[in-house]
A and B are shown apart, each in its own frame.
Chain A
Amino acid sequence: MKPAPFTYHRPTSRTELFDLLGSLDNARVLAGGQSLMPMLNLRIAAPDHLIDLNAVAGLDGIELSNGILRIGAMTRQRAVERSPVVARHLPLLGEAMRHVGFQQTRNRGTIGGTIAHMDPTAEIPVVALAADATLVIESARGERSIAFADLSTGYLTTQVEPDEALVRIDFPVWPERHGSAFEEVTRRGESFAIVSVAVLVALDSAGRVARAAIAVGGLVEAPLRAEAAETALIGHSPDAGAIAAAAAAAATLPAEGDIYAPEDYKQHLAGVLTERALQRALARAGDDRHV
């Protein structure tokens, strides 16, 4: 099948981009296209105007400044996956990126695209929630920032207004000796996740859990923070009992069944994957060699 006809726009500057976004009706922005192009090919989406971000200058790049990893929305997923800066300062993001689609789609897909699209099964939004990411959204009216946690307004819909575009994602960096892990279960090897879990932990000098962030994706329309699981860890020794308590808490998060996985199976996965991710993340946090 082929996309329904549309007018194609290829702005090269932010000014041109935001003029188009502010003046056109029924327009969609095209980033890497790895989610939008299938929707166009299948005619699930039929915009009158397609605004291609790929030639707009200055929307990509990875930069660490003042303890914040700033990633331009148009940075390719493959570039994030291979970035030594990401690997050193937020290894969770690099690990999760390897689970996104396939190499052929990561070569083209962007980090901003996967966040703005907000597929319930997508991996990177789970990391963005665990890491307390902030999104920078721009329009002709100016720039605003919102917490990733406030982005979703329901299935595949976000706070980004029709005249706006997501331009950057800011990830606060955790202390160097933190531990992290990403786990997911898919129906076949590398493909859409049923449930995915992202974990960040840091230990204090006595070896107790000083900080913990746990996010679970795939349960409902947007990733959820497992706050009760975090509470079960913070201040405790990271032993089997604490991990089991956190996993049990994660397994009580709300879930919605779908054609592939019923609600209680998703909750079971949330518990099992939280346990596995915590075991790996805590081992890494306690290992001086792991940076």
Chain B
Amino acid sequence: MSEQRAIRIVVNGTAHDVSVEPRVHLADVLRHQLKLTGTHIGCEHGVCGACTVLLDGATVRSCLLLAAQADGCTIETIEGVAAPDGALHPIQSALAKHHGLQCGYCTPGVVMTLIELQRELAGRSIDETGVRHALAGNLCRCTGYQGMVDAALAVLNPSAEAQIEPTVAKRR
């Protein structure tokens, strides 16, 4: 199939002019054409959430969006989350601190989901049910949710940071 479309997408602040086949989804363009392999692909039918990125500020499954549809859009991926000097985003630090990472495959999608949640909360607090509801769209096959939930509560409710100890430490 030789049909190609020229698209322009801005990924993590950098504009890219890319030629794509219409049938190719955004996750593949990010990974194979732009070499941004932090966005992971799990199921390719919208169940697992590993490919979650922000499209014009809102989380989307990048396996359920044709790259051609993203023409003119702004995309944020896991590669754009840490500071330019490599300092981790507070959400990434909290996941590390609270053992919210196991094999790490689902982590990029989880981070993008929590970034959207943090922006929507705009400083308001959230409870465990709310965090679990938000994370429901990201499957973790290691069943490592407790650490993720602890991390999310700690970073989204900064005043609670002092009270929430990492789960592993709590169990000692």
Interface residue ranges, A against B (CB under 8 Å): 1-8, 10, 30, 33-34, 37-38, 40-42, 50, 52, 54, 78, 101-105, 107-108, 189-191
Contact = CB atoms under 8 A, between A and B. Distances in A.
Contact of A41 (B44, B133, B137): B44
A104 B116 CA distance: 10
B64 interface: yes
Interface stretch (B11-19, B21-29, B79-87, B92-100): B21-29
Contacts of A102: 49, 136-137
Given A34-B64, A102-B137, A6 B23 contact: yes
Contacts of B10: none
A37 B137 contact: no
B65 A7 contact: no
B66 A107 contact: no
B69 A54 contact: yes
B46 to A, nearest CB: 5
Nearest to A78: B58
Main secondary structure of the interface of B (DSSP, over half): mixed
A105 to B, nearest CB: 6
Given A104-B59, A190-B137, A8 B68 contact: yes
Contacts of A37: 25, 45-46, 63-66
B60 A104 contact: yes
Nearest to B116: A103
Interface residues of B, number: 33
A8 B64 contact: no
B61 interface: yes
Given A4-B23, A189-B136, A190-B137, A107 B65 contact: no
A103 B64 contact: no
B122 interface: no
Q: What 8 A-B pairs have minimum CB-CB distances, sorted nearest first? A: A102-B137, A8-B22, A38-B45, A5-B1, A190-B136, A37-B64, A107-B58, A3-B23
A279 to B, nearest CB: 21
Contacts of B46: 34, 37-38, 101, 105
A4 B22 CA distance: 10
A52 B69 contact: yes
B59 A103 contact: yes
A103 to B, nearest CB: 6
Given A8-B68, A33-B65, A190-B137, A107 B23 contact: no
Interface of B: 1, 3, 5, 21-25, 28, 44-47, 49, 52, 55, 58-61, 63-66, 68-69, 113, 116, 132-134, 136-137
Contact of B23 (A2, A104, A190): A2
Given A42-B45, A108-B60, 5 more contacts: A6-B22, A8-B66, A105-B46, A108-B58, A190-B137
11 contacts: A3-B23, A8-B5, A33-B65, A42-B44, A50-B22, A52-B68, A101-B137, A103-B113, A104-B60, A107-B60, A108-B64
B1 to A, nearest CB: 4
Contacts of B134: 103
A290 B1 CA distance: 57
Nearest to B134: A103
A75 to B, nearest CB: 14
A2 B154 CA distance: 39
A108 B24 CA distance: 18
B140 to A, nearest CB: 13
